[in-house]
Amino acid sequence: KSNLKGLDISGSEEHLIAKLFADNTATFLYEEDFKELKKILDNWCIASGAYFNVKKTQIIPISSKEFCLRVANKWKSKTEFRQISDNIQIIKE
């Protein structure tokens, strides 16, 4: 069991954490969950022999325009969650 919070779903006690389709995965995280997800994926890749193509990874902030700009600026400033990989792109809109 992880500490990932996921996305709240109105009218449900469940939280959306991941959507899987073929070889694509979308995860729904709070920004502080990023390092936790990275640990989970690293362990899963070691156990399964799988590989994540980090160059295809994109972050899409979901919230107000101000929040999205704050996340984009934080990403550019090489904060803690940016240290995971320089190859990850952040989508501003």
What is the per-residue pLDDT for 81?
A: 54
Distance (Å, whole) CA 37 – CA 24: 15
47-59 tens-digit pLDDT: 999 888 877 888 7
pLDDT band for position 46 (cuts 50, 70, 90):
very high
Which distant-in-sequence residues (6+ apart) come within 8 Å of 29 by Cβ?
4, 5, 6, 17, 37
Decide: pTM greater than 0.85.
no
70-87 tens-digit pLDDT: 877 777 776 655 555 667
Q: What is the mean pLDDT of residues 29-41?
A: 82
